[in-house]
A and B are shown apart, each in its own frame.
Chain A
Amino acid sequence: MTFSDWLLFLHVASAFALVSALVIYWSIAVAGRNVERPVDSLRYFRVAKPANVLIIVGTMGTLIFGIWLAIDFEAYQVWDGWILAAIVLWAISAGTGQRGGKVYAEAQKLAERLVAESRGAEPNPELRALLTNRNAMWLNIASSLAVFLILVDMIYKPGV
């Protein structure tokens, strides 16, 4: 295996880490919509812990190894249209995902506080409002859509 093969593997593995994190977030976002008690929501937030690592590894890895590959491969340049499009989509995905994630981070903090105050078994309307926040949902849809478009862009390579 050449150095370029390893770069390609690391780039693809980062993409898998990114999508895996999104799948975990979506799974708990959908499951969490029916949750009213803080103690129940905390279980889902525990499932999200590896996703919080995978999203950082995936977001940074795809960009770093992607640019490295573009420099390494003679056939491609970093300023090629499809690579620039991918970088723009990457920025959109990271920005919207981060903003959408803030609402869930707020929900997690609230749930932890309520459990610490021994109110974990009582339904909480404020927590429910955060878990069903439409704005956060739309931001996450935008983020996931951008990742899907990056995948399409990577495979079709328009302009090549």
Chain B
Amino acid sequence: MLATIRPDDWNFPLLLHVLGAMLLVGALTAAVTALLLGWRRDAAPYTRFAFRTLLFIGLPAFVLMRFGGEWTYVRENLDEQPDKVWVGIGFITSDLGALVLLISLLVTGIGARRLGRSGASQSRLTRVGAVLTALMLAGYIVAVWAMSAKPD
């Protein structure tokens, strides 16, 4: 019941878009949880886990979500219509999210590497990663609301 009745040729791109978005939100939730757990202690294993989750699930899921979204946008001829609020929210969260995702990957990757070498139990990079992924997750929750409720 993700949408009302629509032409069949929109279905596959929409499936890719929704599947990618769901996997992305899942990866972000896992990463945020791990990074928050590593905020005060045991930062090395938690930061490594968060980095790998973002890299192996979050990044491919983002590509799937973005590619599926763009494909759906063209198939639905939304590019030929006046901009709608929910489409705008989708583009903003997606484009900003791409940037924040890449920065989060960089920060957690470097953090995991440094923590592995130093053996420290805390890291500023882990905390920065936690804040960035939490912001991204909040943005995508707003996007889920906009995509499903479609406010205009």
Which residues of A approach B to under 8 Å, CB–CB? 1, 5-6, 8-9, 11-13, 15-16, 19-24, 27-28, 31, 40, 43-44, 46-47, 49-51, 54, 66, 69-70, 73, 75-76, 148, 151-152, 154-157, 160
Chain B residues with CB below 8 A from A5, complex form:
148-151
Task: Kindly state the separation between the CA atoms of A28 and B48 in the bound complex, as whole angstroms.
Answer: 12
Task: Kindly state the separation between the CA atoms of A24 and B53 in the bound complex, as whole angstroms.
Answer: 9
B42 within 8 A of partner (CB)? yes
Task: Kindly state the separation between the CA atoms of A49 and B32 in the bound complex, as whole angstroms.
Answer: 12
Interface of B is mostly: helix
Given A75-B4, A155-B2, A160-B5, A23-B30 contact (CB < 8 Å): yes
B130 within 8 A of partner (CB)? no
B105 within 8 A of partner (CB)? no
Pairs A–B under 8 Å by Cβ, sample size 7: A9-B149, A16-B144, A24-B29, A27-B57, A54-B29, A73-B4, A160-B5
Chain A residues with CB below 8 A from B121, complex form:
none
Chain A residues with CB below 8 A from B37, complex form:
43, 46-47
Which residues of B approach A to under 8 Å, CB–CB? 1-5, 8, 11, 14-15, 18-19, 21-23, 25-27, 29-30, 33-34, 37, 42, 45-46, 49, 52-53, 57, 141, 144-145, 147-151
State the Cβ distance, A2 to closest chain B Cβ, in Å.
9
B29 adjacent to A70 (CB under 8 Å): no
A9 adjacent to B148 (CB under 8 Å): yes
Task: Kindly state the separation between the CA atoms of A22 and B52 in the bound complex, as whole angstroms.
Answer: 16
Chain A residues with CB below 8 A from B29, complex form:
20, 23-24, 50-51, 54
9 closest Cβ contacts across the A-B interface? A23-B26, A19-B22, A20-B26, A12-B148, A5-B149, A9-B149, A24-B30, A9-B148, A20-B29
B11 adjacent to A13 (CB under 8 Å): no
Task: Kindly state the separation between the CA atoms of A5 and B150 in the bound complex, as whole angstroms.
Answer: 8
B53 adjacent to A154 (CB under 8 Å): no
Which of A50, A70, A155 has the most chain B CB within a 10 Å cutoff?
A155
A155 adjacent to B46 (CB under 8 Å): no
Given A12-B2, A47-B37, A156-B144 contact (CB < 8 Å): no
Which of B19, B23, B149 has the most chain A CB within a 10 Å cutoff?
B149
B25 adjacent to A16 (CB under 8 Å): yes
Which residue of chain A has its CB nearest to the CB of B16? A155
The contact of A27 among B4, B15, B49, B148, by CB within 8 Å, is: B49
Task: Kindly state the separation between the CA atoms of A13 and B137 in the bound complex, as whole angstroms.
Answer: 13
